[in-house]
Structure 1
Amino acid sequence: MNLGVMKNWPLFLLLFFNLSAHSFAGDSITVKTSISDGQSLISAGGSFELGFFTPDTSRHRYLGIWYKSIPVHTVVWVANRENPISDSISNLTMQNNGGLILQNATGSILWSTVSLNLTSPVAQLLDSGNFIIKDVSNSSETIAWQSFDYPTDTLLPGMKLGWNLKTNLDRYLTTWKSNEDPSVGDYSFKLDLQGSPEFYIWNGLTKIYRNGPWTGYDFSGEPEMEYNNAFSFEFISNDDEVYYTYKILNSSVISRFVLNQSMIQRYVWINSQVSWFIYWSMPRDGCDFYAQCGAYGVCNSNQSPVCSCLKGFVPKSPQNWNMRDGLDGCVRRTPLHCQNRDRFLKMSGMKVPDTSQATVDKSVSLDECRQNCLSNCSCMAFANANIGEGGSGCITWGGDLIDIREFEEGGQDLYIRLAASELDSGNGNSENKKTLIIIVAIIAGVMLLLGFSGCCILKKELESYSSCRTGHMRSFGKLQLSFNSISTDRNSDNEVHLPLFDLRTILFATNNFSNTNKLGEGGFGAVYKGKLGEGQFIAVKRLSKNSLQGLEEFTNEVMLIIKLQHINLVRLLGCCIQGEERMLIYEYMHNRSLDTIIFDKSKARLLNWQKRFNIVAGIARGLLYLHQDSRLRIIHRDLKASNILLDDEMNPKISDFGVARTFGDGTDEHTKRLVGTLGYMSPEYAMDGVFSIKSDVFSFGVLVLEIISGKKNKATCYAEPQLNLLSYAWKLWKEGKCLELLDESISSPDSIPEVVRCVQVGLLCVEERAEDRPDMSLVALMLGAKISLPQPKAPGFCTYRSSGDTEVSSSCTVNDITVTGIEDQ
Structure 2
Amino acid sequence: MRIFFTHLNYFIILVISCFFFFITPSTSLDTLTGTQILTTNQTLLSKNQTFALGFFRGSNTNYYLGIWYNNINPQTIVWVANRDNPVDNSTGYLKIGDNGNFVLLNSSGNPAWSSNQTSAKNPVLQLLDTGNLVLKDSSDKTNNNYLWQSFDYPTDTVLPGMKIGWNLDTGTEKHLTSWKVTGEDPSSGDFTIKLDYHGLPEAFLRKNQTIIFRTGPWNGEGYSGIPAMKDNIDGLKFNFTYDEHSVLYSFSITEPSLLPRIILTSDTDGEFQRYMWIQGSWNKFWYQPADQCDYYRQCGPYGVCDENASPICKCMQGFRPKNQEAWNLRDGSDGCVRNTALNCSTDKFLHLEHTKLPETSSVFMNKSMTLDECGSLCKRNCSCTAYANIDIRNGGSGCVMWLGQLVDMRVYSTDGQDLYVRLAAADIGSTSSNKNHRVVQAVGITLSALVLVLGLVAICYLMKKSKQRSRAAIPGFVRRSHDWIMNEVVFSRKHLRDERNMDDLELPMFDFDTLTMATNNFSQDNKLGEGGFGRVYRGRLIEGQEIAVKRLSKKSGQGNEEFKNEVKLIVKLQHQNLVRLLGCCIEKDEKMLVYEYLENRGLDSILFGSIVYFNIFFFLIMIYICFTLILSLYVLIITNVADKSKRPLLDWERRFNIIYGIAKGLLYLHQDSRYRIIHRDLKTSNILLDNEMNPKISDFGIARIFDKNQMQAKTLRIVGTYGYMSPEYAMDGNFSIKSDVFSFGVMVLEIITGKKNREFYSDNNELNLLGNVWRHWHEGTALTLLDPSIGNSYTEAEVVRCIHIGLLCVQEHAEDRPTMSSVILMLSSETPSLPNPKTPGFSIKKNHPKTESSSSSVNQVTVTMLDAR
- State the TM-score bracket (shorter-chain normalisation): 0.5 to 0.7
Q: How does 1:384-399 map to 2 (within 5 A)?
A: 384-388=389-393, 390-399=395-404
**What's the counterpart of residue 133 of structure 2?**
131
Structure 1 residues 100-147: Cα deviation after superposition (integer angstroms, max 9, x where no partner)? 100101122111110111122111001111101112212324112110
Relative to structure 1, the CA distance from residue 15 to residue 164 in structure 2 (aligned partners, 3 Å threshold; closer, same or farther) is farther
Relative to structure 1, the CA distance from residue 436 to residue 203 in structure 2 (aligned partners, 3 Å threshold; closer, same or farther) is farther
**What's the counterpart of residue 284 of structure 1?**
290
**What's the counterpart of residue 281 of structure 2?**
275
On the 8 A contact 2:681/2:721 being kept in 1, the answer is no
On the 8 A contact 2:304/2:315 being kept in 1, the answer is yes
CA distance in 2, matches of 1:156, 1:232: 12
**What's the counterpart of residue 297 of structure 1?**
303
Check if 1:101 corresponds to 2:103.
yes
Check if 1:420 corresponds to 2:428.
no
* Counterpart pick for 2:158 among 150, 155, 160: 155
Q: How does 1:72-221 map to 2 (within 5 A)?
A: 72-141=74-143, 142-178=145-181, 179-221=183-225
Structure 1 residue 553: deviation in Å? 12
* Counterpart pick for 2:329 among 320, 323, 327: 323
**What's the counterpart of residue 375 of structure 2?**
370
Structure 1 residue 551: deviation in Å? 7.9
**What's the counterpart of residue 23 of structure 1?**
24
Relative to structure 1, the CA distance from residue 29 to residue 362 in structure 2 (aligned partners, 3 Å threshold; closer, same or farther) is same
Structure 1 residue 49: deviation in Å? 0.6
SS of the aligned residue for 2:67 comes to strand
Q: Which sections of structure 1, spanning at least 5 residues, go unmatched?
A: 1-13, 442-497, 499-523, 529-539, 577-583, 587-591, 599-610, 620-639, 658-814
**What's the counterpart of residue 543 of structure 1?**
610
Structure 1 residues 138-197: Cα deviation after superposition (integer angstroms, max 9, x where no partner)? 232411211011111111111111112223221111011114321111100110001110
Check if 1:563 corresponds to 2:661.
yes
CA distance in 2, matches of 1:94, 1:163: 29
* Counterpart pick for 2:735 among 650, 664, 670: 650
**What's the counterpart of residue 697 of structure 1?**
none
CA distance in 2, matches of 1:318, 1:381: 25
On the 8 A contact 2:681/2:720 being kept in 1, the answer is no
Structure 1 residue 526: deviation in Å? 13
**What's the counterpart of residue 337 of structure 1?**
343
On the 8 A contact 1:24/1:33 being kept in 2, the answer is no
CA distance in 2, matches of 1:526, 1:345: 35
Structure 1 residue 267: deviation in Å? 1.4
Letter aligned with residue 67 of structure 1: Y
Letter aligned with residue 211 of structure 2: K
Letter aligned with residue 203 of structure 1: K
Letter aligned with residue 106 of structure 1: S
TM-score by length of 1: 0.55
CA distance in 1, matches of 2:222, 2:642: 40
Letter aligned with residue 543 of structure 1: S
On the 8 A contact 1:293/1:326 being kept in 2, the answer is yes
CA distance in 2, matches of 1:79, 1:146: 11
**What's the counterpart of residue 41 of structure 1?**
44
CA distance in 2, matches of 1:83, 1:224: 37
CA distance in 2, matches of 1:225, 1:157: 15
Relative to structure 1, the CA distance from residue 551 to residue 252 in structure 2 (aligned partners, 3 Å threshold; closer, same or farther) is farther
Structure 1 residue 18: deviation in Å? 5.6
CA distance in 2, matches of 1:112, 1:210: 34
CA distance in 1, matches of 2:71, 2:290: 30
**What's the counterpart of residue 253 of structure 1?**
258
CA distance in 2, matches of 1:650, 1:109: 56
Equivalent residues, number: 509
Letter aligned with residue 416 of structure 2: G
On the 8 A contact 2:126/2:135 being kept in 1, the answer is yes
Structure 1 residue 43: deviation in Å? 0.7
Structure 1 residue 97: deviation in Å? 4.0
On the 8 A contact 1:52/1:62 being kept in 2, the answer is yes
Letter aligned with residue 62 of structure 1: Y
CA distance in 2, matches of 1:169, 1:34: 31
Structure 1 residues 579-626: Cα deviation after superposition (integer angstroms, max 9, x where no partner)? xxxxx9x9xxxxx9995xx9xxxxxxxxxxxx964499999xxxxxxx
Q: How does 1:287-686 map to 2 (within 5 A)?
A: 287-338=293-344, 340-388=345-393, 390-428=395-433, 433=437, 543-544=610-611, 563-564=661-662, 565=664, 566-567=666-667, 568=669, 613-614=706-707, 642=720, 650-651=735-736
Structure 1 residue 277: deviation in Å? 2.0
CA distance in 2, matches of 1:420, 1:542: 46
Structure 1 residue 390: deviation in Å? 4.2
On the 8 A contact 1:643/1:654 being kept in 2, the answer is no
Letter aligned with residue 228 of structure 2: E
**What's the counterpart of residue 3 of structure 1?**
none
CA distance in 1, matches of 2:17, 2:323: 72
CA distance in 2, matches of 1:327, 1:279: 30
On the 8 A contact 1:153/1:176 being kept in 2, the answer is yes
On the 8 A contact 2:680/2:720 being kept in 1, the answer is no
Relative to structure 1, the CA distance from residue 411 to residue 18 in structure 2 (aligned partners, 3 Å threshold; closer, same or farther) is farther
CA distance in 2, matches of 1:411, 1:618: 35
Q: Which sections of structure 2, spanning at least 5 residues, go unmatched?
A: 1-14, 446-576, 578-600, 614-639, 671-678, 686-692, 713-717, 729-733, 745-853, 861-869
SS of the aligned residue for 1:367 comes to helix
CA distance in 2, matches of 1:128, 1:615: 27
Structure 1 residue 59: deviation in Å? 1.5
CA distance in 1, matches of 2:305, 2:225: 12
Structure 1 residue 229: deviation in Å? 4.0
Structure 1 residue 549: deviation in Å? 12
SS of the aligned residue for 1:369 comes to helix
Relative to structure 1, the CA distance from residue 553 to residue 169 in structure 2 (aligned partners, 3 Å threshold; closer, same or farther) is farther
CA distance in 2, matches of 1:575, 1:202: 41
Structure 1 residue 293: deviation in Å? 0.1
On the 8 A contact 1:163/1:170 being kept in 2, the answer is yes
Percent identical across equivalent pairs? 38
**What's the counterpart of residue 479 of structure 2?**
none
Relative to structure 1, the CA distance from residue 816 to residue 285 in structure 2 (aligned partners, 3 Å threshold; closer, same or farther) is same
Relative to structure 1, the CA distance from residue 216 to residue 550 in structure 2 (aligned partners, 3 Å threshold; closer, same or farther) is farther
On the 8 A contact 1:151/1:171 being kept in 2, the answer is yes
On the 8 A contact 2:611/2:643 being kept in 1, the answer is no
Bigger radius of gyration: 2
Check if 1:54 corresponds to 2:57.
yes
Structure 1 residue 392: deviation in Å? 1.6
SS of the aligned residue for 1:291 comes to coil
SS of the aligned residue for 1:127 comes to coil
Structure 1 residues 518-547: Cα deviation after superposition (integer angstroms, max 9, x where no partner)? xxxxxx99999xxxxxxxxxxx98734679
Relative to structure 1, the CA distance from residue 358 to residue 433 in structure 2 (aligned partners, 3 Å threshold; closer, same or farther) is same
Relative to structure 1, the CA distance from residue 49 to residue 553 in structure 2 (aligned partners, 3 Å threshold; closer, same or farther) is farther
Structure 1 residues 349-396: Cα deviation after superposition (integer angstroms, max 9, x where no partner)? 100100011121112111111111111111111110111254221111
CA distance in 1, matches of 2:153, 2:285: 25
